[in-house]
Each structure stands twice: as C-alpha cells, then as structure tokens.
Structure 1
C-alpha cells in the first residue's frame, strides 16, 4: 500500500481515513493539519486543490495527503 494517496481524487478518501489537510487560514503558508475524516464535503470526483472534508474535530479543509485508515 502506498503511504501517500492523491487528495484530489474523491475515490481515495473515505470516512474514518487519516488525512493531512490545509485549512483556509493556512493556504498561504501551506501548513498541514492531521486528522480523521468525518464528512466528505466535495461532491465532484476530482478537485484540483484537494477534496474538501470535515475532520472529526470539526475543522474543514482540503485534503493534501491521504494517510490511510485511522
């Protein structure tokens, strides 16, 4: 299993996955936040900046890296 799956493809992300996201406030710096996917908010199968998700702690951002099952 590869350790980094593409966060721009919706098929790579499932509820409960560990991911690294970039929050809206961190887009300029590129700072990543680790968390577990609670909800997938992007409906399309692909997004060039990353699929938007809500983490278990309520933070919302775009997936940069999919780390796999939590």
Structure 2
C-alpha cells in the first residue's frame, strides 16, 4: 500500500502529487498543497481524494516531505 492510500499520511497544508479525474487515463500528476481531505475512510485503494488550494480535486499518489 503506498503513502497516498492512507489518510493518516496526509494532512492539510501538505505538499502532494495528485492525479485529476481527467488525467486518470494518462496518470499525469499535478503538484499542490492540500486544502481539504475529502475521503473519510482510513484507506482507499486508488488514493485519498483531496482538494488542493487552487480547488482542483484528485487522488493522492505521492506525499512530498
């Protein structure tokens, strides 16, 4: 299980890489800062869904320390 699949690894204000819905086929990643965590479950197989500061929504693939 990667870090983006566990809600405990993601906090608001964290720098992350997400895949937007429109980019799911290509897997293109978008970098940003977490504004809000949208997934309530502790884990999700495709990544925790978050909203970035610029209001883009996607699933976390990587958490940048």
Equivalent pairs counted in the alignment come to: 64
Distance 1:49 1:67 in 2: 18
Local SS of the residue matching 2:5: coil
Q: Which runs of 4+ in 1 moved over 4 A?
A: none
Q: Which ranges in structure 1 are unaligned for 5 or more consecutive residues? A: none
Distance 1:53 1:43 in 2: 10
Local SS of the residue matching 1:7: helix
Higher helix share: 2
Q: What is residue 33 of structure 1 aligned with on the other side?
A: 30
Distance 2:12 2:58 in 1: 14
Superposed displacement of residue 9, structure 1:
0.2
Instruction: Provide TM-score, normalisation by structure 2.
Output: 0.96
Higher strand share: 1
Q: Which ranges in structure 2 are unaligned for 5 or more consecutive residues? A: none
Superposed displacement of residue 52, structure 1:
0.1
Q: What is residue 18 of structure 1 aligned with on the other side?
A: 15
